[in-house]
A and B are shown apart, each in its own frame.
Chain A
Amino acid sequence: MSPANHQPILIRGGRVLDPSQSLDGTADVLLADGTVAAVGEGLEAPDSVRIIDASGLIVTPGLIDVHVHLREPGGEHKETIESGARAAAAGGFTAVCAMPNTDPPIDDPAAVGFVAAEGRRAGGARVYPVGCISVGMKGEQLAEVGEMVHAGAVAITDDGNPVMDSGLMRRALEYAQTFGIPVADHPEDLALSAGGGMNEGLVSSRLGLRGKPNASEDVHIVRDLLVAELTGGHIHLQHVSTRHGVEAIRQAKARGVSVTAEASPHHLHLTEEACDGYRTEAKMNPPLRSEADRQAVREGLRDGTLDTYATDHAPHHYDEKEREFDDAPNGIVGLETSLGLGLKLVGEGLIDLPTLIERMSCQPARAFSLQGGTLEVGTIADVTLIDPAAQWTVDPAAFLSKSRNTPFGGWELVGRAVATVVGGRVVWEGS
């Protein structure tokens, strides 16, 4: 490590907002030796400290996105671990969880080790590998979960593929308990969604496109909740998009089922109408749904049923998206718009700022047992500095991500990250 890495940082005069300790007030934050050394008013500056003037800024525990696709290995034309980790840092994230549906999939300890090593080399946000549930993501045989955890995996999922075999899901939820990791699932009954490219509803009927009904997601959400209840395992439900799905999770939480769940920016801001005109940048899975579903997802995020705000960052090369709707791949990039779109929810009055930081930092850390998510003294020095007043326009051409596939291009947003600190080192600074 270069000497600069050891230089302490004093973040002075910001609004320190740390929901994990119910902190919200003007204070200084001193970072030294890779940890949070002190938080308080009028901290004295040690020798050779770098002072960051944070007046007018919000200082929060580093943001964490537990659901990103970094495409490496196998899809390096869309994204690499390095470009993804840098895009994450530019979006204010200090850590991301990389999904294992690469080519080949991350289903053994060597592959997990590769992702972890590339992540460390990237010098952006921390990259936590997530391993597959099943060998080859085929949904048949349980992968070497223990070995993968030993190599650095923080969760398992077959994301991209739902786990169609309920028996396998049971075994995964049982087995993962030894290692204290969540089993993340992309809930979708493929038999019910077969052939669908967008939400099944009036818009799909008008456009002549086959749809995926809400029920295709609901059936698997309910299945997962019941199997989690049966086993006592921790199910993490990804990108929940349906009103009945939200309600089922709410009820399961009330009965004490060990479940955490995500809401994604696009399901909070857009509906199936965005697909009109066969706009492939609005094609994702689960699809954008009806306004009633969007409202339910928003209410779920507000009341904590959906406790984690995660992007499902899914880069695709423009060649792949610039084509017929049926043939275009699912997914949009999200890392560099996530915070702005989250702050938009605050601006709209849906949630307050501490709740947003809770959903973007504290809770993701808790759900995946990651370091960070707090500014408690002695914890790792992962910090995000946010300018809540910065007005900016989403310009996909300016993304650090290798991909530009977003339906939010041209959106006027207020608030963005201005500096991202990982392990006491500034990995990204805005102008």
Chain B
Amino acid sequence: MDTARNLEAMHIDMVVIRHSSSGAAGFLAERIPSNVINAGDGSHEHPTQALLDLLTIRDHLGPISGLKVCIIGDILHSRVARSNIFGLLTLGAEVAVCGPRTLLPVGIEELGVRVFNRVEEAIEWANVLNVLRLQLERMKGGFVPSLREYNRVFGVSSQRLAAAPQDILILHPGPMNRGVEIDSDVADGPHSVILRQVTNGVAVRMAVLYLLAGGAPELAETAKGPSPGREEGAP
């Protein structure tokens, strides 16, 4: 709270906040007049990551509507997953998640996503895989027994992709644990658009800053999005 008051006292126009607590960006936005950009709050949301993921998918596959996108890995702790789910559903995609049940949030199906227990089924179904980083500390937390086993059961390998019925797009928000959630030959292979995500990330964040700084004022209100704390697209 004192942080917020200090920021306000400096008459800052824009704040970019990344915080370990879910809801922290909304908390700040409700208390200061500046534009607040959420650069990731706890396990809640990471909106610009979702925007750049959406842009990357659209660049390669066209309109989002109707596409099948599966997010693979630690959904429970992932802000990238939540923002992707809300964004993709809003734009009309079909969304699935896949990962060990210990790392899936309770009631995730009620958000309007399907759940695959086996990564093979996810690969068979999806047009796009968004592979999440497995935080190494999850093993100590008892969520998965070992990284080796995680790779064997849930890792995205070229062998598994070979069984895919269609051309599939591979995203990863980075940084990767090569050999854990994704094998190097997939990360560096023909399906991967991981470096395109990084490039698009610069463009998306420039656009967000530009709009909120007052460029294209006719778009600015839209760019500010819904009121803080509540996500558009959550059914």
Residues of A within 8 A of B (CB): 200-202, 204-211, 213, 276-278, 319, 322-327
Contacts and interface: CB of A to CB of B under 8 A. Distances in A.
23 contacts: A202-B110, A202-B111, A204-B105, A204-B106, A205-B105, A205-B107, A205-B110, A206-B82, A206-B234, A207-B22, A208-B42, A208-B43, A208-B82, A209-B42, A210-B43, A211-B106, A277-B23, A278-B26, A278-B229, A324-B19, A324-B24, A325-B22, A327-B21
A290 B111 CA distance: 16
B79 A208 contact: yes
A276 B22 CA distance: 12
Given A200-B106, A326-B42, A205 B229 contact: no
A321 to B, nearest CB: 10
B181 interface: no
Given A208-B45, A208-B79, A278 B23 contact: yes
Contact of B111 (A205, A209, A213, A319): A205
B22 A209 contact: yes
B133 interface: no
B231 interface: yes
B210 interface: no
A202 B107 contact: yes
Contacts of A211: 106
Contacts of A204: 105-106
Given A206-B82, A208-B45, A325 B23 contact: yes
Tell me if A's interface is mostly helix, strand, loop or mixed. Answer: loop
B207 interface: no
A327 B234 CA distance: 25
A293 to B, nearest CB: 14
Contacts of A206: 82, 111, 231, 234
A326 B21 CA distance: 6
Contacts of A324: 19, 21-24, 27
A320 to B, nearest CB: 11
Given A207-B22, A213-B106, A326-B21, 13 more contacts: A202-B111, A205-B111, A206-B111, A207-B23, A208-B41, A208-B79, A209-B42, A277-B229, A278-B22, A323-B1, A324-B22, A324-B24, A325-B23
A325 B19 CA distance: 12
B11 interface: no
Nearest to A324: B21
A202 B234 CA distance: 11
A211 B41 CA distance: 17
A411 B106 CA distance: 32
Contacts, number: 66
A276 B106 contact: no
Contacts of A319: 1
B202 interface: no
B172 interface: no
B19 to A, nearest CB: 7
Interface in B40-98: 41-45, 79, 82
A371 to B, nearest CB: 45
A352 B41 CA distance: 46
B223 interface: no
Given A200-B106, A209-B22, A278 B79 contact: no
Contacts of B108: 205
Interface in B211-226: none
Nearest to A318: B1
B21 A325 contact: yes
B43 A209 contact: yes
A201 B107 CA distance: 6
Q: Which of A213, A278, A327: most chain B CB closer than 10 A? A: A278
Closest 5 CB pairs between A and B? A278-B23, A208-B44, A205-B105, A324-B21, A208-B43
B25 to A, nearest CB: 10
A326 B44 CA distance: 12
A278 B27 contact: yes
A319 B106 CA distance: 32
Interface in B189-206: none
